[in-house]
Amino acid sequence: MAGVIADSGNLSWNTPDYLLEKIRVYFNGTIDLDPCSNPGSIVQATDNWVLPYRDGLEESWGERKRVYVNPPYGSSYILDGRCLLPKEYRELPPEKKIQCKKQNIFKWVSKAVSEREDRQNETIMLIPASVETKAWQDIIFKQNFVSVCFLKGRVRFVGSINGCSVPLALVLFSQYPLQVGGYKEAIAKRKSFNKLFSDLGFIF
């Protein structure tokens, strides 16, 4: 369900190659985990988690250090291992609605921060640049060792005729510098991200 635009009627919008190529370069050629993948994904991560078999919001990302996340945009719902659009959710009977688990950008960003704090994962996310939302105001802007690239124009997902209806950003949650000298490494990684993606948009 990568890149779900919740009101689009489509559950799978795949990241374009030009972004994935740069993300792989940043991760030295390998993405260890795509925790919200889909059967047609072109991310080529070592591990691709697809519902109903693996739930990236519920499961630990473990020792997979290089993570790329293109989560559902807007709100969607999980029922019996299947992702539902808001329209599908509204049509459910009440007894089914209470069984649904809601997912949104705030929850995915919270998950990335939690995994970084607990297991030192390094995550790049492709998310809407909706800086007025709680995900940005309460989480992203309050984190240390974060870099953001606000992408130019409207990103066109693989298979889509038009660009995305909202502006997007790449957000890097770098590993915390725990060891001696770690701050220099963290700063170097941030500089690497900024240099690599600066031609695609404004770096913050």
Tens digit of each residue's pLDDT (9 = 90 or more) over 112-129 = 999 998 988 999 999 999
Q: Return the pLDDT at 86.
A: 86
As a whole number, the mean pLDDT across the chain is 90
Q: Is residue 2 pLDDT above 60, yes or no?
A: no
Which pLDDT score is estimated for 178? 63
Fold of 17-73+105-203: Rossmann fold (3.40.50)
Return the half-sphere exposure (C-beta side, CA atoms, 13 A cut-off) of residue 6.
22
pLDDT tens per residue across span 16-67: 999 999 999 999 999 999 999 988 899 999 999 998 889 999 999 999 999 9
**CB burial string 83-100: b at 16+ within 10 A, e below:** bbbeebbeeeeeeeeeeb
pLDDT at position 4: 44
Q: Look up residue 62 and give its two tokens.
A: 């473990």
